[in-house]
Amino acid sequence: MGRMARKLIHKSSRKAGQSPGTLLHIGAKQIETPRISIFDYGARQLNERKTASVEECLAFRESPTVTWLNVIGLHNPEIVSKIGLCFGMHPLVQEDILNTNQRPKIEDYEDYLYTVVKMLSYDEKTNELDIEQVSLILGKNFVITFQEKEGDVFNPLRERLKNPEGKTRKAGADYLYYALLDTIVDSYFIILEKIGEKIEALEEALVKHPRNETLQEIHALKREMIYLRKSVWPLREVVSTLERGESKLISKPTMVYLRDAYDHTIQVIDTVETFRDMLSGMVDLYLSSLSNRMNEVMKVLTVIATIFIPLTFIAGVYGMNFKYMPELSHPLGYFAVWGVMLVVAGTMFLYFRKKKWL
Amino acid sequence: MGRMARKLIHKSSRKAGQSPGTLLHIGAKQIETPRISIFDYGARQLNERKTASVEECLAFRESPTVTWLNVIGLHNPEIVSKIGLCFGMHPLVQEDILNTNQRPKIEDYEDYLYTVVKMLSYDEKTNELDIEQVSLILGKNFVITFQEKEGDVFNPLRERLKNPEGKTRKAGADYLYYALLDTIVDSYFIILEKIGEKIEALEEALVKHPRNETLQEIHALKREMIYLRKSVWPLREVVSTLERGESKLISKPTMVYLRDAYDHTIQVIDTVETFRDMLSGMVDLYLSSLSNRMNEVMKVLTVIATIFIPLTFIAGVYGMNFKYMPELSHPLGYFAVWGVMLVVAGTMFLYFRKKKWL
Amino acid sequence: MGRMARKLIHKSSRKAGQSPGTLLHIGAKQIETPRISIFDYGARQLNERKTASVEECLAFRESPTVTWLNVIGLHNPEIVSKIGLCFGMHPLVQEDILNTNQRPKIEDYEDYLYTVVKMLSYDEKTNELDIEQVSLILGKNFVITFQEKEGDVFNPLRERLKNPEGKTRKAGADYLYYALLDTIVDSYFIILEKIGEKIEALEEALVKHPRNETLQEIHALKREMIYLRKSVWPLREVVSTLERGESKLISKPTMVYLRDAYDHTIQVIDTVETFRDMLSGMVDLYLSSLSNRMNEVMKVLTVIATIFIPLTFIAGVYGMNFKYMPELSHPLGYFAVWGVMLVVAGTMFLYFRKKKWL
Amino acid sequence: MGRMARKLIHKSSRKAGQSPGTLLHIGAKQIETPRISIFDYGARQLNERKTASVEECLAFRESPTVTWLNVIGLHNPEIVSKIGLCFGMHPLVQEDILNTNQRPKIEDYEDYLYTVVKMLSYDEKTNELDIEQVSLILGKNFVITFQEKEGDVFNPLRERLKNPEGKTRKAGADYLYYALLDTIVDSYFIILEKIGEKIEALEEALVKHPRNETLQEIHALKREMIYLRKSVWPLREVVSTLERGESKLISKPTMVYLRDAYDHTIQVIDTVETFRDMLSGMVDLYLSSLSNRMNEVMKVLTVIATIFIPLTFIAGVYGMNFKYMPELSHPLGYFAVWGVMLVVAGTMFLYFRKKKWL
Amino acid sequence: MGRMARKLIHKSSRKAGQSPGTLLHIGAKQIETPRISIFDYGARQLNERKTASVEECLAFRESPTVTWLNVIGLHNPEIVSKIGLCFGMHPLVQEDILNTNQRPKIEDYEDYLYTVVKMLSYDEKTNELDIEQVSLILGKNFVITFQEKEGDVFNPLRERLKNPEGKTRKAGADYLYYALLDTIVDSYFIILEKIGEKIEALEEALVKHPRNETLQEIHALKREMIYLRKSVWPLREVVSTLERGESKLISKPTMVYLRDAYDHTIQVIDTVETFRDMLSGMVDLYLSSLSNRMNEVMKVLTVIATIFIPLTFIAGVYGMNFKYMPELSHPLGYFAVWGVMLVVAGTMFLYFRKKKWL
C-alpha cells in the first residue's frame, strides 16, 4: 500500500526550487529504451514505422497527411525536447509530459491542444491497479502521444487504421485524437468490470462467512476507488471542454463523437460513485453482521454460565461440613437436591427461551 | 445481488476497441423474436398494425399523419439499422439504441430528438427491481420507440389513441412523445408505492421483533434506492431540457404538459431521497435497539452471576476441611450461614435494583 | 408510522395511464360536504357569504372589487371543474388542485398565478404532524383558495378584512394573496415551537434518565423533520419566485411584503436545519451515554466476580479431601486462610481502585 | 439548554395572524427603561448626549453633521415607532427592529439601508453564549442603532469619535456604519478565543483522564457552534452585499474597509468550521479511547477469571467424596495438585502474555 | 496541541476596538532583529544587498530595473510603515502585513497587487507543522515580500537570479512574483511527501500491531490536514484570480506560467483531500480491527470459562456430603465421573468448534 501513498505526491519535492520548464523525468522508469512509432495516413495511403528515430519523425512535420507519433518511455528528456522544439510546444508542456504525476487536464495553446489523461490497467502479478499517464497533443494534421510503457490498448485502433474503408482513415487528425481518447475511456470499463466482479465475490463472502480479511479487501477496494475517482473526475472536465467545442482544431462532425465520449465518461463516474456507495453499505453490513454474530455467541455462552452458576452454588451448599445439616442425613436428600437443581435449571432455561435469549 | 453489480458495468468491456458506430446489441436477450407495431393516426383516421415488417414501417415515413413505431426486442441490429437508415438517424444513435446500458439522456439532432430513459418494474418471481431501457425518437410527424421486452405499460395510451375525441388523437407527434414520457414517469410511482409498502412492513418488524434478516432487507432496499436514483436523477435533466423548450420539435402547448411531467419527476426524486433518509434512520434505530436488547440481556445475566458468585464462595468456605473451624460444630451454624447468604443476596439484589441494573 | 410512509407516494399509482388533465381526487376525504365561502370587498364595501353554491361564486367573476373564494373539501371534482371553467384555469391546474400529493410550487399562467403550498398542524389526538394542501389562485381581482378541510387558520385574516380601516381592505388582490401566504408561513412557527418544546423535554429526559423510548421519540422527531423539510424547502422557491417580481399580477408595494415573507421562510428553514443538527447530536449523546452507563455496570459486576473467583479457588483448595494436607490440621489454619483471603481481596480491591476500575 | 432551544423559534407563534407591520416587541425584556444616546459630529464639532428623549433625537434629523442615535432596550414599541416615522422607515423595518428573533440580513430601501446583525458575548454567570440583536440603519447623514441591552462594546469607538484627529471623525455616516459593523465582527474573535481556550482545556482533559462529563462539555461546545454558525453565515451575505457596492449610500473609500470587514467575517466562519471539525474529531477520539480503556479493563478481568476457573475445577475434583480416589491417599497428592495447578496457571499466563492479552 | 488551537484565532481579541489601519504586530516574534535584503536586477546588471536599512530600500523605488525587497521579521511596525508610505500602500495592507493571522487572499489595488499566502515547513524539533505567513506585493517594477522568519526556501530562486542567462533575469517583476509563488506552492509538495511517508508508516503499524497510540497519531495527522486545507483552499482562489488575468500588472506570457502554478495548487488540494479520505478509512479500519481482536479474545476466554463451569458443577455435586449418595461408594464412580466430565468437555469443545466459536 505504501507504493500507492507514494504515488499521490504528484510533483516530486526534489524538483522544488528548479526553474519552471526544466525538463526532468519524474516517475518510475517503466521501459528500458524509449521507442517511437509512426503512423502516417490519408484516405489512400498509409505509412507505418514501428520503430523510428526522433529525426525521422520530424520529417512528417509538414506532410499534408495525418501523422500519429507514438512515444513509449519517458525517461529520456532529450526525445521530448527535440519533438517539442520541432512541433513548437511550450516548455511547460514539455515539462508536464515528463512529469508523470500530472492531474488529467487539457490546455489550449491555439496551435495545438495538450491533453493529459490516465490509463488504467490491472497488474496481473500484484493484483493492484496500475495507473499510466498518457499525454496527447493534437495539432492541425498530427497527433503525438506519449506513453510510459508498452501496452496493447491502442492495437485495435491500429488495425482500424489499416482498413482503407474505415471512417478513421478518412477523417482528420481530430477524429484520430477522439478515437484515442475513446479507447482510453473504454479501458476504464474493463477495470470497472473487474472491480464489479470483485465486489460481487466479496458480497457473497460477506453473506456466507464474514472474515476479518473481508474487511481489509473492502478497504483495499475503497482505496482503489479513491484512485479511480482522482483519474476520472478531472477527465470529465477534459472531455466536457472538448465537447463544448471551444477549440478550432476540432471539426463539427467530430464533436458529435466527443459528446458520445462525454456520455461514456459520465457513465464511468456514475459507476465509480455507485461502487463507492455499495462498498460503504458493505462495510456497514459487515460490521453489524459481525457484531450480531459475536453477540449471539456471547449470549449463548453467558446463558450457559448463568444456568450453571446457581447449580454450582446449591452443590456448594451441600458440600459444607457443618455438623448439623438435617438434609444431609435424609435418605432422599441427594435425589431431592438433584430434583431441585433440575427444576432450577429447567425454569431458567424456559425463562431464557421465552425471553428469546437462547 | 451479483446480477445487480453486473448491471452497473454500462458499456461492455468486450466492445472496447471497436469503431464507434458499430452496431452491436449489448444486454440480455429479453424476447425471442423482435416485434414491430405501428400506430398511424390523425384527427379522423387511425391505422393500427400489431405486427409489421421493417419494410412496411418505412412506408409511413412520408405520411402527413402522426406515426408511432414501437420496436420490441433489440437483439437484431439489422432492424435498428434499417429503420435508422430510413429515418436518417446518426450511427451513434443506432449504436446507443442497441446498447441497453445507456444512462438516461436527451440529444438534439435538429431533425429529431433522441431520448433514452429507464422503465422500472418489479419482477414478480425474484422480487427484484427490473430495469428496462426505452429509446424514444421524436421526428416531425413520427415517434419511434425501442423497448427491450413486451410490457403492458403503453396499453392505456393505446386505448386513449383509439378514442377519436381524445386530446392525444388531435395533437401532434410531440404530444404523443410527451404522453409516452409521462406514462414512463408514472410507472415510477407504482414502484415507489411498492417500496413504500416494504418500508412500512419493515418498520413494523423493526419495532416488534428486530431480526438479523431485517437489516439485510433494509440493505437490499437501500441498494434498490441506488439503482432508482441512477435512473431518476438523469431523467430530471432530460425532462428539464425538454421543458426549457430548446427544441423546435416541441410546440408551445405541449410545453405546459412537459412542465407537469417535470413536476412529477421532481416528486419521484424527492420521494426517493426521503426513502433514503428513512432507510438510513431505520438502520440506526435497528442497530441501537438491537444493541440495547443485547445489553439488557447481558446485564441481567451478569447480575445473576454476580449475586451467586459470593454465595458460592461462602459455601466453599464452609466446605473446607480444616480441623478447627468453630462455626462448623455450632448447632445453628448451618442455618446461620443460610441467613448470611440470604442477607448478602438480598442486599445485592436491592442495591442492583436501586441502581436500576435489574 | 405506516400512514406517513404512504403519504410520500405523491401521485397515486391508480392514476398511471390516465390522460393528463383528467379530474380525479387523490387523497383522503377530509370533510363530509365541500363548502364554499365568499368574501367580496373593496375599500368601502364588504360582502361575506359563509356558504355559497358554485353558481353564486361565478357571479363575482366580473366584479371590480376583490373577491376571495375559499373552497373547503376537494373530493367533488365537479366544483373544481365548474370554477376552473369560469375562471379559465388550465386543465392541468384543475388536476393538480384535486391531487393533494403535490409538491409546493408556483406556476405563472400569465392571467393567473397558481400556487400550491402545504399547511401544517398538529393532530391533537394522534400527536402526529398533519399536512394539508392549500392551492391558491391569484387573478387580476380575485383569489381562490382550495383547502382539504375546515380550519381556523384564516380566521384572524377574516377579522382584519372586516376592519374597514385595515391595510388589507384597501389593497388589491395581490396583497390578499400575500396575506394568505404569510398566514400559512406563520403557521409553521407554531409547529416549530411545539417541536422545540418536545426537543427541550427530550433533552432533559436524556440527561436525567435515558430510556430506550427516548431514542424512538428522537427518531420520530427526526422523521417529522423530514416531512417539514419536504414542505418548506420548495416553499422557499415559491416565495423567492414571487419576490423576484416576475409576475405582473404582483404590484411593487406588495413585493416589499413578499420579501418579508421570504425572510420568514428562510427562518423556518434555518430552524428546521438547526433542529436536525440538534437531534443528530442528541442521538449521539444518547447512544454514548447509554453505552457509558452499560460499561460502568458491567465493570462493577465484573470486578466483583473477579475478586471472588480467586477466593472461591482458595476455599476450594482446602475443601479437597487429600489425606495429607498439613495446613488442615494446623489449629490456626482456618483463621490463616481467612487472613490470606482478606489480604487477597483487599489487595485486588485497592489495585482496582487505584486503576479507577471501581 | 432548554433556553437555547426556545431561542431558535424566531418568530413567536403568538404573533401568527397579526397584520404585517404591527409593532410588537418579541424577545425577553433585557433592560428596565429604554435609553437613547446621541452622538452628533462633524470634522470640527462634537455633540454628545448620554440620555435623550425621542423628541430631542428628531431635531437632529436635518442636521448636516453625522448623527448617531443609539437606542438601548426594545420593549417600548412607541420609541421605535416615533423614530421610524421621523426618519421615514417602512413599517416592516419597524416591526423587524422589535422582533429580536431576526436572521442577520440587509435590506436596501434606497433612502436608507436596514441591517440586522447578532452581537455575541459570554454570560459570565451561566457561562453560556449570549446573543443580542443589533439593528443598524444607515441614512444619508445618520446612523441609528438599536440594541437589546447595555454593553461596553461600542465604547472604544466612542473614544475614537472624541478624538478630533481620528479618521472616523472626518469621514461620513457610511464610515461610522462600517466602524460599528467592524466592532461587532471583532467581538466574534473574543468569543472564538474563549471557545478556543475551552477546546484546548478539553483536549488536555481528554488525553489525561476522559470522563463522561467531557463528552457533555464537547456536546455543549458543539451546540454553541451551531448558534455561532447561525449568526455568522448570514452575516457573510450581509457584508458581501455591502462590499459589492450596490448601495449608493456607501462611498468608494469606505468600500475598501468593507472588504477588510468581509475578510474578517470569512476568518470567523473559517475558524468556526475548523472548531466544528476539531470537536467532531474529539468526540471520535473520546469515544474510541473510552472504549479502548473499557476493553482493556474487561480483558484483564476476564483473563484473571479464566485462569482461576480451571484451577477451581481441579480443586473441586479433589473435593469430591468418592470412596475410591487413589490420588487422595497418596502422601504427595496434595502437593502434586498444587504443582499441576501452578503449571496450568503458569501456562495460561504465558500463553495470554504471548498473545498480548495481558 | 493547545498551541494549534490558539493559532486558529486569527485576529487577536486584544485588537478589538482599535481603529482600522492601526499598525500592530499580531503573532509570535520569530526573529530577534528584522532584516531587509535587496535584489535589484535587469537583463545585464545585478545588485544584491544582504542587509539593508529601510532608507536604502527607498532609493530603489524609482529604478527602472526590477527590485525585490525581502523583509524578514515583522515585529517592528515602523519598518512596514516606512516602506508602506514610500511604495504607496493602503493602511489596511500595512495592517494586514503585520497581522500574521491572515487568510490567504489577493487584493488588487490597481497600482499594486497585495497577496497573502502561507508557507509550510516541518519543525524538526517538535515534529509539528509550522505555518509562516508570507505577504507579497507586486508593483510595476518591484516585488516586496514580508516573511516572519529566516528560511532557505527562496535560496534556489536567488541562485537562478544570479545566472545572467536565466529566464527569471530577463523577465519582469510579474515573473519574479510568479516564481516566488511557485516556490511557495512547491514547498507544499515537500510537506505532503512527509505526511505521505507518515501515513505509509502508520498503515504498516495498523496492519501489523494496532496500538492505542496509532489512533492518536492518525488523529494528529487528521488535524494537520485541517490546517493544510485552511492554507491551501484559499490559495486556490488566489492563484485562480491571477490566472484569469484580471490584473494589468501580469503580462500575458507570465499568465501561462500562472496556469501551471494553478495546476500545482489543484494537485496539492487533490492530494490533501485524498489523504483525508485515506486517514478516515484508516480510523475505521483501526477501530474495527481493534474491536475484532478484542472480540476474538473475549470469545476464547468466555468459551474456556463456559467449558469449565459445568465441569466444576459436576465436581461440586460429588463434593456434597449427603449420607446416601450411591455413586460415591461405587468403586469406579470416580473414574466414571472423570469420563462424564471428559465427554461433556469434549462435546462442548467440538460444538464450539463446529460453530466456529473457537
Q: Quick one: pLDDT at residue D2?
A: 39
Alpha carbon of C46: minimum distance to chain B alpha carbons (Å): 37
The CA distance from D146 to D71, in Å, is: 5
Average pLDDT of chain C is: 84
Alpha carbon of A61: minimum distance to chain B alpha carbons (Å): 27
For residue B192, give the 3-state DSSP assignment: helix
- pLDDT higher than threshold 50 for residue B13: no
Strand order in the sheet with E113-123: E46-52, E35-41, E66-72, E142-147, E128-138, E113-123, E105-108
Same domain, A270 and A303: no
Contact call for residues E329 and E280 (beta carbons, < 8 A): no
Which chain D residue lies closest to E336 (C-alpha atoms)? D322
Looking at chain B, which subunits does it touch, using at least 3 CB pairs closer than 8 Å as the criterion?
Answer: A, C
Higher-confidence residue of D289 and B339: namely B339
Residues of B in contact with A305 (CB under 8 A): 301, 305
* Residue E6 maps to a domain: no
* pLDDT 10s digits, D187-222: 898 889 888 888 888 888 877 777 777 878 888 888
Burial of C324 (0-12, 13-18, 19+ CB in 10 A): middle
The CA distance from B185 to B264, in Å, is: 7
Encoded amino acid at B336, one letter: A
Looking at chain C, which subunits does it touch, using at least 3 CB pairs closer than 8 Å as the criterion?
Answer: B, D
Q: Quick one: pLDDT at residue C245?
A: 77
Spatial CB neighbours of A105, under 8 Å, sequence gap ≥ 6: A115, A116, A234, A237, A238, E263
Same domain, E201 and E301: no
Q: Could you write out the DSSP letters of every residue in E121-148?
A: EEETTTTEEEEEEEEEEE-SSEEEEEES
Between the alpha carbon of residue D164 and those of residues D41, D60, D64, the distances in Å are 10, 20, 17
Least Cα distance to A311 among B342, B336, E314 occurs for E314
* pLDDT 10s digits, A322-337: 888 888 888 888 888 8
* Residue B5 maps to a domain: no
Between the alpha carbon of residue C131 and those of residues C2, C27, C142, the distances in Å are 15, 11, 26
Name which of D160, D204, D325 is nearest E334 (Cβ-Cβ).
Answer: D325
The CA distance from C279 to C290, in Å, is: 16
Higher-confidence residue of B259 and A210: namely B259
User: What DSSP element (H or E) covers E66?
Assistant: strand E66-72
Least Cα distance to B99 among B80, B86, B83 occurs for B80
Residues of A in contact with E277 (CB under 8 A): 226
- pLDDT higher than threshold 50 for residue C1: no
Parallel, antiparallel or unpaired: strands E105-108 and E113-123 = antiparallel
Least Cα distance to E235 among E50, E74, E69, E103 occurs for E103
Residues of B in contact with C26 (CB under 8 A): none
* Long-range Cβ contact pairs of A299-304 (< 8 A, separation 24 or more): A299/A357, A299/A358, A299/B294, A299/B297, A299/B298, A300/A358, A301/E302, A301/E303, A301/E305, A301/E306, A301/E357, A302/B297, A302/B298, A302/B301, A302/B302, A302/B305, A302/E302, A303/A352, A303/A357, A303/A358, A303/B301, A304/E306, A304/E309, A304/E310
Residues of B in contact with A357 (CB under 8 A): 297, 301
* Residue A241 maps to a domain: yes
- Averaged pLDDT for residues B200-204: 84
Cβ contact (<8 Å) for D319 and C322?
A: no
* pLDDT 10s digits, C79-136: 889 999 888 899 889 988 998 888 899 998 889 999 999 998 887 787 778 888 999 9
Same domain, E50 and E193: yes
Which chain C residue lies closest to D10 (C-alpha atoms)? C267
Q: Which residues of D228-255 are buried (b: 16+ CB within 10 A; e: fewer)?
A: bbbbbbbbeebbebbbeeebebbeeebb
Q: Which of E259, E288, E317 represents a domain boundary (last residue)? A: E288
- Grid coordinates 460513485 are at which residue? A273
Contact call for residues B314 and A322 (beta carbons, < 8 A): no
Cβ contact (<8 Å) for E281 and A223?
A: yes
Alpha carbon of E85: minimum distance to chain D alpha carbons (Å): 17
The dihedral sign for the CA sequence E341, E342, E347, E351: positive
User: Strand locations in E279-325, DSSP E?
Assistant: none
Residues of C in contact with D21 (CB under 8 A): 167
Q: Which of C6, C13, C327 to mutate to test the interface with B (most CBs of B within 10 A)?
A: C13
The CA distance from B204 to D3, in Å, is: 36
Average pLDDT of chain B is: 84
Task: Extract the C-alpha cell encoding A130.
Answer: 496500475
* Residue A3 maps to a domain: no
Same domain, C54 and C94: yes
Cβ contact (<8 Å) for C10 and B284?
A: no
Average pLDDT of chain A is: 84
Contact call for residues A234 and A155 (beta carbons, < 8 A): no
* Residue D9 maps to a domain: no
* Residue B257 maps to a domain: yes
Cβ contact (<8 Å) for D226 and C193?
A: no
For residue C116, give the 3-state DSSP assignment: strand
* pLDDT 10s digits, C255-304: 888 988 998 899 899 889 889 888 888 887 887 777 777 788 888 888 88
- pLDDT higher than threshold 90 for residue B287: no
Alpha carbon of B251: minimum distance to chain A alpha carbons (Å): 26
Which band of pLDDT confidence, cut at 50, 70 and 90, is reported for residue E231?
confident
Spatial CB neighbours of D151, under 8 Å, sequence gap ≥ 6: D119, D121, D132
Contact call for residues A109 and A93 (beta carbons, < 8 A): yes
Contact call for residues B257 and C96 (beta carbons, < 8 A): no
Looking at chain A, which subunits does it touch, using at least 3 CB pairs closer than 8 Å as the criterion?
Answer: B, E
Which chain C residue lies closest to B282 (C-alpha atoms)? C219
Encoded amino acid at E357, one letter: W
Parallel, antiparallel or unpaired: strands B35-41 and D35-41 = unpaired
Cβ contact (<8 Å) for E92 and D312?
A: no
- pLDDT higher than threshold 90 for residue B347: yes
Alpha carbon of A213: minimum distance to chain B alpha carbons (Å): 20
Cβ contact (<8 Å) for E285 and A9?
A: no
Helices (H) and strands (E) in chain B, counts: 11, 7
Which chain B residue lies closest to A263 (C-alpha atoms)? B103
Where residue B127 falls (left for φ over 0; alpha for ψ -120 to 50; beta otherwise) is left
The enclosing domain of E216 has a CATH number of 3.30.460.20
Higher-confidence residue of C155 and B58: namely C155
Same domain, D312 and D199: no
Same domain, D180 and D256: yes
Q: Which of E266, E288, E310 represents a domain boundary (last residue)? A: E288
Contact call for residues A180 and A143 (beta carbons, < 8 A): yes
- Please give the DSSP secondary-structure letter assigned to residue C99: B
Q: What are phi and psi of E182, to 5 degrees?
A: -60, -40
Q: Which of C238, C268, C288 represents a domain boundary (last residue)? A: C288
Cβ contact (<8 Å) for A226 and E168?
A: no
* Long-range Cβ contact pairs of C10-15 (< 8 A, separation 24 or more): C10/B189, C10/B264, C10/B267, C10/B270, C10/B271, C10/C99, C10/C101, C10/C102, C10/C103, C11/B186, C11/B189, C11/B264, C11/B267, C11/C99, C11/C101, C12/B189, C12/B193, C12/C101, C13/B186, C13/B189, C13/B190, C13/B193, C15/B186, C15/B189
Same domain, B160 and B35: yes
* Residue A8 maps to a domain: no
Cβ contact (<8 Å) for E263 and A103?
A: yes
- Please give the DSSP secondary-structure letter assigned to residue E63: -
Name which of B11, B319, B330 is nearest A264 (Cβ-Cβ).
Answer: B11
Beta carbons within 10 angstroms of residue A117's beta carbon:
23
Cβ contact (<8 Å) for C203 and D2?
A: yes
Same domain, E137 and E264: yes
Alpha carbon of B303: minimum distance to chain C alpha carbons (Å): 7
Q: Quick one: pLDDT at residue E5?
A: 43
Q: Which of A287-296, C11-20, C238-247, E342-351 has the lowest mean pLDDT?
A: C11-20
- pLDDT higher than threshold 80 for residue C207: no
Same domain, A275 and A311: no
Looking at chain D, which subunits does it touch, using at least 3 CB pairs closer than 8 Å as the criterion?
Answer: C, E
Beta bridge pairs of residue E147: E72
Name which of C20, C315, C321 is nearest B260 (Cβ-Cβ).
Answer: C20
Least Cα distance to D317 among D281, D296, D294, D341 occurs for D341
The CA distance from D194 to D192, in Å, is: 5
User: Strand locations in chain D, DSSP E?
Assistant: 35-41, 46-52, 66-72, 105-108, 113-123, 128-138, 142-147
The enclosing domain of E340 has a CATH number of 1.20.58.340
Spatial CB neighbours of B210, under 8 Å, sequence gap ≥ 6: B286, B289, B290, B293
Same domain, E238 and E163: yes
* Residue C170 maps to a domain: yes
The CA distance from C277 to D219, in Å, is: 12
What is the pLDDT tens value at each position of chain D, 358 positions in all? Answer: 334 444 544 444 445 567 777 777 777 777 778 889 998 998 888 888 888 888 887 778 778 889 999 999 888 888 889 999 888 889 889 988 988 888 899 998 889 999 999 998 887 787 778 888 999 999 988 999 999 888 778 888 888 888 888 888 888 899 999 999 999 998 898 889 888 888 888 888 877 777 777 878 888 888 888 888 888 889 998 998 888 877 889 998 888 889 889 988 998 998 898 898 888 888 878 877 777 777 878 888 888 888 998 999 998 988 888 888 888 888 888 888 899 999 999 999 999 888 877 7
Cβ contact (<8 Å) for A320 and B318?
A: yes
**Structural domain of A108:** 17-288
The CA distance from E180 to E258, in Å, is: 11
Same domain, E158 and E79: yes
When divided into structural domains, chain D yields a total of 2
Q: Which of A272-286, B22-36, B215-229 has the lowest mean pLDDT?
A: B22-36
Same domain, E113 and E262: yes
Task: Extract the C-alpha cell encoding D336.
Answer: 502434586
- pLDDT higher than threshold 90 for residue B281: no
